[in-house]
Structure 1
Amino acid sequence: MRAAYLRLVEHYGTTETIESQIIQTAHWLTLHLDCIHVWTAYLKLLEQHGTEEQRNNALNSLSDWLEQHPEQNTVWITYLTIVKQYGNREQIAHALQTTSAWLRQQPDIDSLRFSYLALLEEHGEVLHELKQYEAALTIYAQAIQWDQENVLFYYHQGITLRKLYRYDEALAVFEQVIRMAPGDATAYINKGKILYSLKRYAEALETYEQAIQYNPSLAQAHGDRGTILRRLGRHEEALEAYQQALDLDPQNPVIRSKYDEQLKRSAKQKHR
């Protein structure tokens, strides 16, 4: 009944009624933290009419309660659903780590694992974006064990390894991604970045050319190819590559800067 009433308030309530229900429901939920339908309706109400602080407080309260009552799988599934929709990066990262730890203890909870993997698939990048690299690697390895065909988990694993400068391991991961998705130009770009970091420039150049073959509209691939050509001393080709990148993404300040720098360098070469 309360969940249905909150939905009515969301759509038809006056400002005074909405503010009153937000306060009352926040208090009510402290006594009924396992009422999943009310949580869903309450977060939707907060999204439309509440504040970011209220949403964060609500999600943090539910997270704290679940850490004390991890056996409440239905509540946990609801928590993952609303975190995916309403949580900030820190809350999503926390949800991924706590759920991963619980699933290591209870690996047979299929419904919870399904919801967890859905959250990881949509927001798995938050772990390496927040520089939680070691936790991220543990989580990605666990996810790959459960879903060995999900290319996204390998992507996250490879990117994290690259950020940790573990280039040989990262290279092996992206070679696996390419075997799984041979037409994925972005996988070739990531492989090319790693080869460049390993100073294997000729191989990196070939890899970027493969990326362009699969998707010639990727400005990053042309720009990175230009950087490798410049490193190899092929300045005119580098300038052409940067020009191609600019044609595709004329507002990109990084590519513009590299193009301008290469233009000056090429001009100096001609006047020698």
Structure 2
Amino acid sequence: MTLGAEQNVRGPIWGELTRAQNRQAVSNLARAFHLPRTQAKTAILVMLDALTQSLDEDALSRDRLARLIELLGSSDYERVLETPTLMGAPSTQTIGKDALNVLFGPEAAANMSSHVANAAGISITVAEYLLPVVAAMIVGSLSFLTRAEVIGFIRNEPAIPEDFTAALQLPVGRGSSGFFNGLTLATHSVYGDADRPALFGHLAEEVRLGANAADADPYEPVRRIIARGFGMRARYVPWFAKLHVWGTSALQSAGTQAQQRLNQFRTRMRHEDR
């Protein structure tokens, strides 16, 4: 399977992980922990699958969204993603544990080591050190994918038109349809503005305190930006998704009925011609 094909199937986060470090990030991670690449890859995919299910079943709460925004305000995670030598650094373990708790929640994060260890065929001890690094890389990937759009929201730059129909086509990868017509504004040349931590920190605090809570969720665009980064389903328009499913089913049923009636009409006409 090619890089582009894997990205389309497994989503944008996996696409970033396989793009980083001249497409050697997964191999470099394996070498850092003295593992075969297949085991490192399995560990990453198990974590991504668990993360996808977690977010799909539990939409981002206000507090969880705020904590995630704070992580995205740090350029440290992008550096881990792009720097092989940081995979084994003590600082990566520290920020990675923070990322792990935010992404999965403390309870799920505590149980993740045994789950990944069993799936990848590695020891729990190795998994306990591996998971924070992978979590840091996941946040770094999400930061690359969403940074420009979140900064645009904070600075009140012109919004990008939404396309709810395209939002239902998942997983969403770079260059394909998505919450914002598949347009990826994030760049990979810099780690971000010097004032980025302050910008993201202020946004996180507003989200946490519920500023303008009387309005119809002013931070909905941020949720959608992050959801698109994860390649998640358009959870915030569930009525549209249900309508889409109902409409597709109704059209299929109508088509079947029309075909049956046409066949009956043709049969009757043949009998009358005789």
Q: TM-score, normalised by structure 2?
A: 0.19
TM-score w.r.t. the length of structure 1 is 0.19
- Judging by fraction of residues, say which structure has more helix: 1
Larger radius of gyration: 1
